[in-house]
């Protein structure tokens, strides 16, 4: 496969299906109550934002989405670890696609992009969620944008 973006685009439906199956295996309280179609739609949106960030080499879409997601799921009564698990399951699925379809020499760049995007999303999610729980101002744990840009 030529690039990570191409690999993800070609395998998007498979990635989403495998991530949904992985999330279902986790048997999370609030996700068990959701219809399969809604879980798939939500995972598809998370994948879409992740893909956009990888393709365009920017963290803005995942950060904005994660902040919005934290507020929505907080209002719905989801636990932070449930939402984080959805991110983790998608990340694991992306890593599996890479190891099955790319050469080992390509792994570091691919894993770096995936982990940077997912890590930024999980951080934005946690910061927003914790600020909602505590009523405290948002304080990011670290500025990783320079790492993502390779500077």
Domains and CATH numbers, the chain: 4-148 (1.10.490.70)
Which pLDDT does position 134 carry in this prediction?
86
pTM of the predicted protein model: 0.85
Give the DSSP per-residue string, 86-131. Answer: HHHHHHHHHHHHHHHHS-GGGHHHHHHHHHHHHHHHHHHHHHHHHH
Which pLDDT does position 33 carry in this prediction?
64
State pLDDT tens for residues 35-90: 788 889 999 999 999 999 999 999 999 999 999 999 999 998 888 998 999 999 99
3-state secondary structure of 17: helix
Mean residue pLDDT of the chain comes to 88
Which pLDDT does position 149 carry in this prediction?
65
């Amino acid at each position: 496969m030529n690039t990570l973006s191409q690999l993800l685009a070609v395998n998007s439906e498979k990635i989403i299906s495998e991530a949904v199956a992985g999330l279902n295996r986790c048997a999370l309280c609030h996700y068990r109550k959701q219809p399969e179609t809604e879980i798939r739609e939500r995972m598809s949106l998370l994948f879409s934002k992740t893909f956009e960030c990888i393709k365009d080499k920017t963290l803005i879409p995942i950060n904005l989405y994660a902040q919005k997601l934290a507020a929505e799921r907080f209002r719905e009564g989801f636990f932070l670890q449930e939402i984080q698990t959805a991110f983790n399951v998608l990340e694991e699925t992306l890593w599996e696609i890479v190891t099955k379809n790319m050469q080992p020499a390509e792994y570091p760049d691919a894993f770096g992009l995936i982990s940077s995007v997912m890590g930024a999303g999980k951080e934005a999610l946690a910061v927003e969620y914790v600020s909602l729980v505590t009523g405290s101002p948002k304080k990011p744990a670290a500025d990783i944008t320079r790492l993502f840009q390779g500077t």
